[in-house]
Amino acid sequence: MTNRFIICTASVEDAVQISALMLPLVKKFITHEFTKQAEEILLDSMQPEVIAQSFEKEYKYLIARDTQTENQIIGVLGMKNPTHIFHFFVRESYHGQGIGRLLWQHLLDLSDEREFTVNASRYAQNIYKKLGFSSNGKLFEKNGISCFPMIYSRSSG
């Protein structure tokens, strides 16, 4: 199974596929509780041209590919800086197969950072908890988008 899924660093050429992966998931699992304006703000931030620009701003993306589907991107983990998760999505048909955990573990293996943060959606809170994150403050809203701040701290040892 590990040979079937490949984790690698994304490039700007992957922006269209990354956007195409994220947008339907955001619409299905996240934006239903937002105002129309907040939904538009979030969806606009995930358009291919915005994702492409994020590479110029030194955002980093890890992607998971399925070798049995012509290396289709099936998961993405985007970092806004070395310690803040900005995007983390797995194609719905691959939910429950450990793709998110593979991406997360790959990031941990590559990084020397001790802590990571994320502003989780209501839907993703439990997923982050399963990866070892805990609450790091109260629910807040920015532009009508609800976020739950969470933190992951590596155990010392």
Q: Say what the pLDDT of residue 32 is.
A: 87
Looking at every residue in the chain, the average pLDDT score rounds to 92
Q: What are phi and psi of 111, to 5 degrees?
A: -110, 145
* Distance (Å, whole) CA 143 – CA 137: 18
Give the range of the structural domain holding residue 42, as residue numbers without chain letter. Answer: 5-153
Q: How many domains does the chain have?
A: 1
- For the chain, helix (H) and strand (E) counts, in that order, are 5, 8
Domain with residue 48: its CATH number is 3.40.630.30
In 3D, which of 61, 49, 43 has the Cα closest to residue 143? 43
What are the percentages of helix, strand and coil residues in the chain, rounded to 5?
A: 40, 30, 30
Report angle CA 128, 157, 5 to the nearest 5 degrees: 45
Judge whether residue 157 has pLDDT over 70.
no
pLDDT for residue 1: 45
> Tell me: the pLDDT tens digits for 82-92?
999 999 999 99
Per residue in 10-69, pLDDT tens?
999 999 999 999 999 999 999 988 889 999 999 999 999 999 999 989 899 999 999 898
Q: What stretches of 11-154 adopt beta strand conformation (E)?
A: 60-66, 72-81, 84-90, 115-120, 134-135, 140-142, 145-153
